[in-house]
């Protein structure tokens, strides 16, 4: 069974971002992301305590707020075309996230270890953060609807750990809209300059399953 086609979809929002992160790591010769599904992001708080090897990125949606009008839409010119209001955006959802970035340490240490080797986990976190921010910049809309708030290092335990953890707080504004209009295809291509009509049949369906045609609405177009 295929996944539902939602108008607001996290998988659609992060698909390009994930691809960009994987591409940048491949070009730099860095270790691929680790997850049960190959080099991919994981979503949801339940993944935070799973024992997976770094490097990995866990995206945790934390909530959000509603905005009456997107700051991005304030700069858009209104032309009056039907395409400007299809679908009609009536709110903006400012979705907030935590990105848990687990950086991998140097696999083999010198004897004695160098400072660069000892802090490699921190550097790996910063690199994951840079890759994610760049992917969001490219694929999650332009800058007015994308916010990077802060990031902080966390260390759940000092004894049993692998790598380092950096948590990035960010938000993405996405439109909340009505369902898009359904396009009606022509049975034949109209001649330029000609007129045509759209006829809609109004039918009442009763609880017992019977129906009755109430009439036809004809809308002329040019």
Cis? peptide before 87, omega within 30° of 0: yes
- Alpha carbons 125 and 163: distance in angstroms, whole number: 9
Contacts 24+ apart (CB under 8 A), 42-50: 43/10, 43/14, 48/100
Residue 80: φ, ψ to 5°? 85, 0
- Is residue 196 assigned to a domain? no
The verdict on residue 42 lying in a domain is: yes
How many distinct structural domains can be found in the chain?
1
Does 221 reside within a domain? no
Q: What is the pLDDT of residue 81?
A: 54
For residue 221, what pLDDT is reported? Answer: 60
The CATH code of the domain that includes 14 is: 3.30.2000
**Predicted TM-score (pTM) above 0.85:** no
Mean pLDDT by 10 residues, the chain (222 residues): 76 93 96 93 92 90 82 49 68 94 81 74 95 94 83 82 90 86 67 71 84 78 56
Which pLDDT value is given to residue 58? 97
Q: Do the domain assignments include residue 211?
A: no
> Which domain, by its residues, includes 152?
10-177
Round to whole Å and give the CA distance between 61 and 170: 10
- For residue 189, being part of any structural domain is answered with no
The helix/strand count (H/E) of the chain reads as 3, 7
> For position 2, what pLDDT does the model report?
66
127-149 as b/e: b if 16+ CB within 10 A: bbbebbbebbeebbbeeebbebe
**Is 213 within a domain?**
no
Q: Is residue 84 part of a domain?
A: yes
- Residue 59, pLDDT score: 97
Q: Is residue 1 part of a domain?
A: no
């Amino acid at each position: 069974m295929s996944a539902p086609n939602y108008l607001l979809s996290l998988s659609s929002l992060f698909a390009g971002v994930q691809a960009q992160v994987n591409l940048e790591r491949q070009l730099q010769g860095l270790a691929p992301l680790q997850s049960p599904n190959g080099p991919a992001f994981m979503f949801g708080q339940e993944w935070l305590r799973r024992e997976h090897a770094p490097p990995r990125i866990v995206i945790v949606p934390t909530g959000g707020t509603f905005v009456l009008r997107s700051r991005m839409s304030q700069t858009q010119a209104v032309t009056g075309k039907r395409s400007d209001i299809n679908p009609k955006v009536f709110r903006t959802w400012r979705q907030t996230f935590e990105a848990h970035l687990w950086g991998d340490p140097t696999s083999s240490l010198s004897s004695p270890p160098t400072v660069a080797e000892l802090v490699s986990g921190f550097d790996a976190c910063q690199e994951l953060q840079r890759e994610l921010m760049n992917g969001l910049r490219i694929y999650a809309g332009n800058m007015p609807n994308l916010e990077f708030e802060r990031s902080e290092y966390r260390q759940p335990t000092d004894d049993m750990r692998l790598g380092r953890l950096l948590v990035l707080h960010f938000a993405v504004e996405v439109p909340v809209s009505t369902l898009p209009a359904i396009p009606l295809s022509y049975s034949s291509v109209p001649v330029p300059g000609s007129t045509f009509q759209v006829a809609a049949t109004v039918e009442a369906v009763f609880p017992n399953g019977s129906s009755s045609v109430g009439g036809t609405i004809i809308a002329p177009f040019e």
